[in-house]
Amino acid sequence: MIIILKLMDILNERKKLYEKIEYIKQNNTEEKTTKTMKIMKKLLTNIMSNPEELKYRIIKTTNKVINEDLMNTNGILDLLENLGYFATNDGNFILESTDLNNIEMCLNILNSDISVYNEKEYIKETSQQMMENPQVKKEMEIKRKKLEEDKKQKERINQLIEADKEERKYRFTYK
């Protein structure tokens, strides 16, 4: 019973983290969200790699990148709070907890989101490069013309089928 309760707590925490990240994605531009996710990934990776070092547990809001690209993100404060960060008197944020389960769960969610974004960017860049290639442009034009011809051929066939239906309808009614 205790194990089930513990698993339910873990799932509940993961759901909360997921919801916080989804809120960020829905309430910021894609560019802003991507920058935020990459910064959070870097911060959390540093904590996981160096769990005992306090310097990795502090988010310094005086840092230009942190201040502009992270702290101005809609929903980031809720995410930081959910991860266990507390605001300090000097405006920075510190992670006091030594329990890294939420950090690890958040990092997994971020990695998943970032790899989806990277895949989209790769596809977009590759498509753009392909469309700039003269050979690809020529092949695409040939395929476009073929599709147009096929469409016209299909329309002609449909017209013939309709005409044949009409002819058959009259042929059987005059007998």
Tokens 């840092």 label which residue? Answer: 63
So what's the pLDDT on residue 108?
86
Q: What is the pLDDT of residue 92?
A: 94
pLDDT in tens, 75-123: 999 999 989 999 999 989 999 887 788 888 888 888 887 666 666 666 6
- Total domains, the chain: 2
Low-confidence spans in the chain with pLDDT less than 50: none
Residues 145 and 107 in one domain: no
Closest by CA position to 22, among listed 85, 79, 105:
79
Q: What is the predicted pLDDT for the residue at 112?
A: 80
Start-to-end CA span in the chain (Å)? 83
Spatial CB neighbours of 116, under 8 Å, sequence gap ≥ 6: none
pLDDT of residue 74: 95
Task: Please state, in angstroms and rounded to a whole number, the distance separating the CA atoms of residues 32 and 13.
Answer: 25
Q: Do residues 117 and 165 both lie within one domain?
A: no
Q: Return d(Cα 44, Cα 53) in angstroms, integer.
A: 12
Here the CATH number for the domain that contains residue 85 is: 1.20.58.2190
The backbone torsions φ and ψ at residue 63, rounded to the nearest 5 degrees and listed phi first, read -70, 130
Same-domain check for residues 94 and 140: no
For residues 175 and 172, give the distance between their C-alpha atoms in angstroms, rounded to a whole number.
6
Nearest-angstrom CA–CA distance, 33 and 172: 69
What pLDDT does 77 receive?
Answer: 93
Show the domain range for 88.
Answer: 2-132
Question: 22 with 55, same domain?
Answer: yes
In the prediction, which pLDDT does 172 show?
Answer: 60
Picking from 93, 116, 115, 117, the residue whose alpha carbon sits closest to that of residue 44 is: 93
Residues 51 and 111 in one domain: yes
Q: Which residues contact 40 (CB under 8 A, 6 or more apart)?
A: 70, 79, 106, 110
Residues 26 and 101 in one domain: yes
Same domain, 44 and 107: yes
Q: What is the pLDDT of residue 118?
A: 63
Same domain, yes or no, for 116 and 145? no
The structure's pTM equals 0.62
Mark whether 139 and 156 lie in a shared domain.
Answer: yes
